[in-house]
Amino acid sequence: MNDVARAAGVSLKTVSRVVNGEVTVNPVLAAQVQQAIEALHYRHDIGASTLRRSDRRTETIALLLEDVGNPFSAALHRSVEDEARARGVQVLTGSLDEDPQRERELVRAFTMRRADGMIIAPVTDDQSFLSTEMHDDNPVVFVDRPGHGIPADAVLATNVLGATEATRHLVAHGHRRIAYLGDYIRISTARQRHQGYLAALAEAGLEPEPGLVTHDLHTAALAESAVMALFHRPQPPTALFTSQNLVTIGTVRALRRLQLHRTVALVGFDDFPLADLLEPAVTVVAQDPATMGRTAARALFRRIDGDPSPPQEHWIPTTMIRRGSGELPPSPSLAAGRPTRL
């Protein structure tokens, strides 16, 4: 900046004014400064600027997701980036992998880099550590899952409602034995989807059968073997509700192997690419990760801009997409309670 000032024949402070777009500077001088900046390839140092400024902004936000490589997180990431881009803000990302320790480490790393705010899909049920971990005026917005122990905005899918709708849909097609297959039950979204499943059963006057509920399926492979097991016992289900992406995919694989994919009804929570091209195409309750990301980013920027209103919950609705797998009628043979032979 000193070099630029010398080249433009002005003081260092005037260069600062030009760089920051202040209007109280003679246009002639401003033009000279701009020229010098170009000539010397001067680049403004945001780090030094942040250090000195009173608002301490870095024009950078942090985004902590389950795994930046999975389609849901990636879509959410993209829409956050688009909102940030419109404000000239950059995005630091990190994957949590359901690891509580990683959650704290990343929050610390991003705090040390003075991110202006964070959007977090939390792993655990206690985010109270954020209040001591983060700088006081840096807001947090929770996305996908609610945070606890700290007042903050949250952007959530209507998990209970969506799961109820999915299960109700299967009931409406005549199913009485509907299995639930879900992710780690400690994950709040999995709990809520399980809760929606139970609600729909209760509503229909159906007794929940413990043998038809399987939790903690965190990978497609686990889901696949869970489904295999399910159909090798007496009284198998005639329909399945899978509460997550990877579980749905593992389930489709298993049904193929069992040759039951045209026999057993299936509704999955969360859409996935190519669901419409499978045979039968997979009926899903679709989340809207793009809207979730956009909403979270907007909420965060509102807080960064100083909105002091009480924390808000934003509920992003799910949409049922009927494609075929969810509209299969109960198989008489399975309904009779016969297990599948290999």
Binding site for its own copies (CB under 8 A): 41, 43-48, 50-51, 58, 60, 67-71, 73-75, 77-79, 81, 88, 90-95, 108-114, 132-133, 135, 249, 252-253, 256, 272-274, 277-279
Among 31, 38, 39, 44, binds DNA (CB under 7 A): 44
- Interface segment toward DNA; rule CB under 7 A; list 23-31, 70-78, 152-160, 181-189: 23-31
Does residue 100 have a cis bond before it (omega within 30 degrees)? no
- Compute CA 48 distance to the chain's CA centroid, rounded to the nearest angstrom: 33
What minimum distance in Å lies between the beta carbon of 136 and DNA?
12
306 binds DNA (CB under 7 A): no
Residue 195's binding partner out of its own copies, DNA, none, with CB under 5 to 8 Å set by partner kind:
none
35 binds DNA (CB under 7 A): no
CA end-to-end distance (rounded Å), the chain: 76
Among 7, 29, 150, 335, binds DNA (CB under 7 A): 29
What minimum distance in Å lies between the beta carbon of 85 and DNA?
21
Residue 10's binding partner out of its own copies, DNA, none, with CB under 5 to 8 Å set by partner kind:
DNA
Give the closest residue to 9 by CA, choosing from 29, 26, 23: 29
Distance of alpha carbon 118 from alpha carbon 58, whole angstroms = 13
Q: How many residues bind DNA (CB under 7 A)?
A: 25
- Compute CA 63 distance to the chain's CA centroid, rounded to the nearest angstrom: 10
Distance of alpha carbon 107 from alpha carbon 215, whole angstroms = 29
Report whether 325 contacts 267 (CB < 8 A): yes
Distance of alpha carbon 95 from alpha carbon 102, whole angstroms = 8
Report whether 96 contacts 102 (CB < 8 A): yes
Which residues are near DNA by CB under 7 A?
1-2, 10-14, 16-17, 19-20, 24-26, 29, 43-45, 48-49, 51-55
